[in-house]
Amino acid sequence: MKSEQSLLKPYSKESFDKAIKEYREAIGDENVFVNADQIEPYLKTYLPIDETLYAPSGALSVTSVEQIQAVLKICNKYKIPVWPISTGRNFGYGAALPAIGGQLLLDLRKMNRIINIDEELGTALVEPGVTYQQLYDHLQDNNIPLNLCVPGPGPLVGPVGQALIRGEGYTAYAEQVTSICGLEVIMADGKVLRTGLGGIETSSARTWQCNKYGYGPYLDGIFTQSNFGVVSKMGLWLMPKPAHCEVFSVVYPEFSDLDKVVNLGRNLKINDVVRSPILLGPTAVGMALGGIPRSVIKKPGEGHLSLEDIKKFSRENKQPAVSATSALHGTKEQIAANFKYIEDAIAGTGGVLIHGQYLEQALPPTLVKHFNHAFNGIPDLQEFALLNWKGGGGLIWFAPICPAVGSEATKQITLMEALSEEFKFDFIDAFFLNGRSMVHLFNLFYDRNNAEETQRAYAFYDKAQRVFAEAGYGVYRSNPAFMKSTATVYGEAQSHVNKKIKQALDPNFIISPGMSGITP
């Protein structure tokens, strides 16, 4: 378990103490945390790393743009870097930990205003600390007919962090980054940048969140998965509340039918029959997500759960081996027509369409409830049931991108199965299909209290990234322990350009050094 600690330019204790004094004067003594007991809550992670190697030197809690500007001014003065967090709950990918230890966390959770909701245009303007639960409650309390696109840990996380990290959700706006429309960014020198039409202050209230581009280079994208500035406000497109939503699954009897499932999903997505993402996976994924004990398939203590074990369980219990789950939105007539399209598409392939009361009979009640919540934009905590699958508090997500082609999915499954067997971890695998590509999500569960297992989990990720890169695949998100090595997968030219942009915008590297592998 390595750290990029050495990449951080050292600063003296004298400089740090002077800076802390000035931070206290700028944002208030009660908002500066440097004691161990104050920092400890930020260290919680599910990753197979030694948190002390990535521990921040403290945390600064801010409530306004002016306070961010004041903090950055002091950071530049003493060359002390900060790592901004919105809610600090980047579960499975590092939570609040910086990529390089010794930084101060810039905690934006208290910046939690819902500044504007435009019901006509379906837009929102929010601060980084706003959570999905807060935004959902606001829509409900004010009878605003707009839907959110919530991710798995929905109530606890927020749309700003989720969109900036390019995370996924469950509705038609699943790729959250595509819903960004207008950012307010505090640059390292303290200047306030409003992207797109936000630069025209007199008209920004009406046009800023309804057109992404404005005039000149499109800048919103460079502030996602980057360390080029501190986002203090984000425009967000919200989905009009549909008349109806109906969850469905298409199930197949054999795991070898995976190629049919993938090709069907691509057909449904690129033809706009299904607008939400399609969750593809074997039996065990649904069981873990639904809170069904691992012991139902194999008792704890009998070794890891292989793909063959899952196939055997499916056959013996007459369970579908692989399924595609999503939802249809619209009028009853639209939904009926789209179900007819799906039935025609699977005719003769061995697939079975399940929805309505039949879905409730086929899936665990907890899973049906969760899917109904997720595809309707209602935050819930059901996906935390995943952590009960094995126990021990360890979870790391390895998430390469896969073309939405059956043969490509089969190739990736073969690679993942070999890794699962080599490192002896349960094969809990899924795909999130968004059209022409899928996020291939391997859920690596392990016991953080077991040192040997923790080291094995780290070694799995390290080798998996190399194996998939050699096969031409890269992950879409990384975590503090692997951000630098992930960046190398994407080539020297990209790293060079990213660093040049960083040097131009933040020459002292005071904002998030190490983010996405962009280092001094």
DSSP string, 210-259: T-S--SSS--GGGGSSS-S-EEEEEEEE-EEPPSEEEEEEEEESSGGGHH
pLDDT in tens, 340-350: 999 999 999 99
Q: Does 205 have pLDDT greater than 90?
A: no
pLDDT band at 4 (very low <50, low <70, confident <90, very high): low
- Of the two residues 318 and 69, the one the predictor is more confident about is 69
CA distance 164 to 403: 23
User: Which domains are assigned to the chain?
Assistant: 5-107+502-517 (3.30.43.10), 114-240 (3.30.465.10), 244-470 (3.40.462.10)
Q: What integer pLDDT is reported at residue 285 of this predicted model?
A: 83
pLDDT at residue number 92: 74
Average pLDDT over residues 300-316: 86
pLDDT at residue 2 tops 80: no
Chain-centroid distance of CA 322 in Å reads: 24
Give pLDDT, residue 10: 75
The pLDDT value given to residue 184: 97
Query: Residue 334 has what pLDDT?
Result: 97
pLDDT at position 51 is 85
- The pLDDT of 374-382, averaged and rounded, is 93
Average pLDDT of the chain, as a whole number: 93
- Strand, coil or helix: what is 68? helix
d(CA 486, CA 477): 9
CA 351 to chain centre: 31
Beta-strand ranges (E) seen in 88-240 are 104-107, 114-118, 123-126, 146-147, 180-186, 192-194, 230-237, 239-240
Tokens of 22: 């000035």
Residue 192 has pLDDT above 60, yes or no: yes
Confidence of residue 500 (pLDDT cuts 50, 70, 90): very high
What mean pLDDT is predicted for residues 421-432? 95
pLDDT tens for 67-119 read: 999 999 999 999 999 999 998 888 778 788 999 999 999 999 999 999 999 99
pLDDT at 8 over 70: no
Closest to 441 in 3D by CA, of 171, 152, 246: 152
For residue 24, what are its two tokens?
Answer: 């206290």
pLDDT of residue 363: 86
508 pLDDT higher than 80: yes
Residue 291 confidence (pLDDT) above 90: no
Q: What is the pLDDT of residues 131-178, one digit of tens each?
A: 999 999 999 999 999 999 999 888 999 999 999 999 999 999 999 999
Pairing of β 322-330 and β 114-118:
unpaired
Report the distance separating Cα 463 and Cα 142, nearest Å.
50
More confident residue, 516 or 290: 516
Measured CA to CA, the distance from residue 487 to residue 517 in angstroms comes to 5
Q: What is the pLDDT of residue 204?
A: 65
Q: Residue 121 above 60 pLDDT?
A: yes
What percent of the chain is predicted at pLDDT more than 70? 97
Q: Give the percent of the chain with pLDDT over 90.
A: 79
